[in-house]
Structure 1
């Protein structure tokens, strides 16, 4: 049974970012790293977007960025500058290629393409189809969805979507302006919006996204995109790529699953913002903090700290779960009454208490007071 200093289970964003940082930092050059991932990661299977101030460490693989955005809801539309933030897009395939380039330059990384069957926390053993491996420290992004479903203390919603990269005959898109959220579509008793990432005047990634308890039949996602496209007068168009995803929106305390030698990371570690499903930027920030933390040789179950933002997200989820048919109104109020810069700061958990109080006061107070009372009593 082979032993490694660090074993990373899962090659999604969190696993690949952590592995990249470990093998690129000379502090860990004498440590051996094992990354286990079942998929080959050779397809453009997803798109990551995030907002960031100034230049970032991944700018070399950012394929498109925007400084202007649109938010739309029924009887409301706002065009706004994202300054001082830039909204950035990274294609999955470019992210994977960047990692593959890094791993060829380092000798202390072993990449194993196989299925993980189980992780034994007591013996720090990862069991796979290609053998068992021991790690001094184990990091896993493998999410047990059933655990969230069966845990009734906190609501569970899902951010679920289908996106299509579309090439149109007519030039109908503004390549300098992203449609951040377009709620001006049939809501059908749940929270639904379109998300448009224009790459050129005639090419865009269009995602039909929901925040709701249950997924839809695939045909409903597709037909909704078709109807949205019809309203834009695209002329003939073709679908170049299709992607889909499901991200849990839960205030479950994932940190309770950590041990001194095992840390859950990514969505499995609670790095997804529960109220919106945004993950990538927080994952990028968390991996930087984690690498610094590892240099101090402290127990992994002391890495995560409690935050008041967790409670804000819990209340927002309670309200969104109870009033899922009115979710568009929540986001409409947010953009009507607050500066975009403050919204991005809030979603990034960077606001101060005064900004947060002001933000909360823009929502329907009765809903949030009821959620607050229910949590305490």
Structure 2
């Protein structure tokens, strides 16, 4: 019998791969099992910012860059202040997470970091083929997304794409205790697009222009709206752009469950861990890595209880609405934030609400397109 190189191979050393590796390392059940984390990047840059809401303290508090207990939702018709308590909205820079996770994992002699790009995984021979080498394992956790998320006309694919500037001003312009969840006063014509502002200090903030659309924009479009918002809405004339971030997150009802196999479990974006209707992934990843560990220890299928069909159906409807009528975004989110408490919204997006709460939220969003999309997705 040929002994595999590793017990587990984690393909991708990003959020999902590192969170899973940390869970494996922390549990004595996995002691003695060799684990490889394979990624083409050394993760030496702050390539993204993760934000999430959470009650009280959490596993990542030592790494939190900033947090807020108050927020605002703004549209052309409404300016609503949101008291998040007992939640806080937390911001974590990816580089801080990468460094902390790597330092913890490197203390374990059973975990190996390998710089390589995996091109293919053969589930029969249990072999991952990389550009530099091949790797065998009893099981693979694969974070590489499918090449085609739009496999049929029945699949909705909305892109959350954004560009953010971390700006520094000469004078105090920002209120560090309150962030802007969505501001629709400046948006791209006939699209779901908005500004998102995360103030770090009175003179520093991350300002992002974000789209939820079926298309990707040219990068100068983001710059145009960022400049317009900073000068016309924030009334800031002098500022310095210290960092820039750009991202594209798929929001889709693609059937990720079909891509798992006996020896390959898809994780992260590739496993459908991005919340399809919001694009949030950090807390989803935390929950799903814990569930995978529990499933392994129970000896059940690794994807057991990873997906909730009820909330997947709700996401399908919402994505179908945005696909058919992308111009409705500002109107729908205005209803969402003004007719429900922020605590109800967080519970709904965390997939913790019961049917009566779901119905209340659904009715608050009512538009004829929802009825059409409901029957389209049945």
Instruction: Give yes or no for TM over 0.5.
Output: yes
| Cα deviation, residue 349, structure 1 | 0.7
| Cα deviation, residue 95, structure 1 | 0.4
Q: Partner of 2:45 in structure 1?
A: 43
Give the whole-Å Cα distance in 1 for the aligned partners of 2:91 and 2:180: 13
| Cα deviation, residue 304, structure 1 | 3.0
Q: Say if 2:218 is the partner of 1:224.
A: no
Give the whole-Å Cα distance in 2 for the aligned partners of 1:373 and 1:303: 26
Q: Is contact 2:64–2:92 with CA below 8 Å preserved after alignment? A: yes
Over aligned residue pairs, what C-alpha RMSD do you find? 1.3
| Cα deviation, residue 24, structure 1 | 2.3
In structure 2, the gaps of 5 or more residues are none
Q: Is contact 1:169–1:235 with CA below 8 Å preserved after alignment? A: no
Q: Partner of 2:330 in structure 1?
A: 328
Q: Partner of 1:366 in structure 2?
A: 368
CA separation of 1:214/1:138 partners in 2, compared to 1, >3 Å: closer, same or farther?
same
| Cα deviation, residue 185, structure 1 | 1.1
Indicate which of 101, 105, 108 corresponds to 1:106.
108
| Cα deviation, residue 53, structure 1 | 0.8
CA separation of 1:83/1:280 partners in 2, compared to 1, >3 Å: closer, same or farther?
same
Report the count of equivalent residues.
Answer: 375
Q: How does 1:212-291 map to 2 (within 5 A)?
A: 212-231=213-232, 232-291=234-293
The C-alpha deviation readout for 1:271-307, integer Å capped at 9, x for no partner, is: 1111111111111111111112221233335453442
Structure 1: 4+ residue segments shifted above 4 A: none
Q: Partner of 1:158 in structure 2?
A: 159
Q: How does 1:3-82 map to 2 (within 5 A)?
A: 3-82=5-84
Q: Which moved more, 1:130-139 or 1:146-155?
A: 146-155
Indicate which of 340, 352, 355 corresponds to 2:354.
352
Q: Say if 2:302 is the partner of 1:300.
A: yes
Q: Is contact 1:262–1:300 with CA below 8 Å preserved after alignment? A: no
In structure 1, the gaps of 5 or more residues are none
Q: How does 1:119-134 map to 2 (within 5 A)?
A: 119-134=121-136
The C-alpha deviation readout for 1:95-119, integer Å capped at 9, x for no partner, is: 0110121022111101101111111
In structure 1, the residue corresponding to 2:65 is in which secondary structure?
Answer: strand
Q: TM-score, normalised by structure 1?
A: 0.96
Q: Partner of 1:318 in structure 2?
A: 320
Q: TM-score, normalised by structure 2?
A: 0.96
Q: Say if 2:181 is the partner of 1:180.
A: yes
CA separation of 1:217/1:365 partners in 2, compared to 1, >3 Å: closer, same or farther?
closer
The C-alpha deviation readout for 1:330-367, integer Å capped at 9, x for no partner, is: 11000111011000111111111111000000112421
| Cα deviation, residue 150, structure 1 | 3.4
